[in-house]
């Protein structure tokens, strides 16, 4: 075979391996292949959905301003009473972006996904809504007023880039962090 390669002027570097084990250990990226990508979607889904909702529900006024692209929550409506979020259609386009094996059975996972349909309800004082109605109507789909509280209802499609730790021995997930979030309407 070596004579054929030389004779045909094949310009590749051939590296022989004594065993399949040697080949795998020297050529397979263990970080990239540290999890089962197909199984991971099923394992990650509930954790991702719950963590995403919690992240949205804990947004500060600055977070609302940034993610809803409206300065009103920083300049005029500073008293957000409550935020509730509910997912209607689940994850779409989940993608493991990168992995890195850590100590023990822990694996760092970079993950990207969309939430197909998320409803965010933002409670603010009715007086704040009345004073800023035009601007608040532009960011919400509907507004419900009850007992002095205006609830802004927003239908959005968030796109998340997150990271977390996955323990592949017990399938435990922890340390959810949002690296980037874009909210589309």
Find out whether 173 and 110 touch, Cβ atoms under 8 Å. Answer: no
10 Å CB burial of residue 48 (0-12, 13-18, 19+) is buried
Q: What is the DSSP letter of 175?
A: E
pLDDT in tens, the chain (185 residues): 667 767 777 776 767 766 655 555 555 555 454 566 656 778 899 999 999 999 999 999 999 999 999 999 999 998 999 999 999 888 999 988 888 889 889 999 999 999 988 999 999 999 999 999 999 999 999 999 999 999 999 999 999 999 999 998 898 999 999 999 999 88
Distance between CA atoms of residues 81 and 96, nearest Å? 35
Distance between CA atoms of residues 89 and 116, nearest Å? 5
Find out whether 32 and 98 touch, Cβ atoms under 8 Å. Answer: yes
- Give the global pTM: 0.79
Provide the residue ranges of all domains of the chain, joining segments of one domain with +. Answer: 46-184
Give the torsion sign (CA, 127, 133, 136, 140): positive
What count of Cα atoms within 13 Å lies in the side-chain half-sphere of residue 111? 31
Would strands 149-167 and 106-115 be described as parallel, antiparallel, or unpaired?
A: antiparallel
């Amino acid at each position: 075979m070596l004579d054929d390669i030389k004779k045909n002027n094949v310009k590749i570097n051939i590296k022989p391996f004594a065993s399949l084990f040697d080949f795998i250990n020297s050529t397979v990226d263990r970080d990239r292949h540290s999890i089962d990508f197909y199984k991971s979607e099923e394992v990650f889904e509930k954790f991702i959905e719950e963590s995403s909702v919690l992240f949205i529900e804990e947004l500060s006024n600055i977070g609302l301003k940034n993610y809803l692209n409206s300065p009103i929550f920083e300049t005029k409506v500073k008293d957000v009473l409550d935020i509730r979020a509910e997912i209607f259609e689940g994850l779409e386009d989940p993608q493991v972006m990168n992995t890195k094996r850590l100590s023990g059975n822990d694996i760092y996972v970079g993950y990207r996904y969309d939430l197909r349909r998320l409803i965010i309800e933002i409670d603010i004082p009715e007086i704040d809504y009345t004073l800023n109605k035009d601007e608040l109507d532009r960011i919400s789909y509907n507004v419900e007023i009850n007992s002095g509280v205006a609830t802004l209802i927003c239908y959005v499609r968030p796109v998340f880039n997150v990271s977390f730790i996955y323990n592949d021995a017990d399938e435990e997930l922890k340390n959810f962090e949002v690296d980037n979030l874009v909210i589309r309407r």
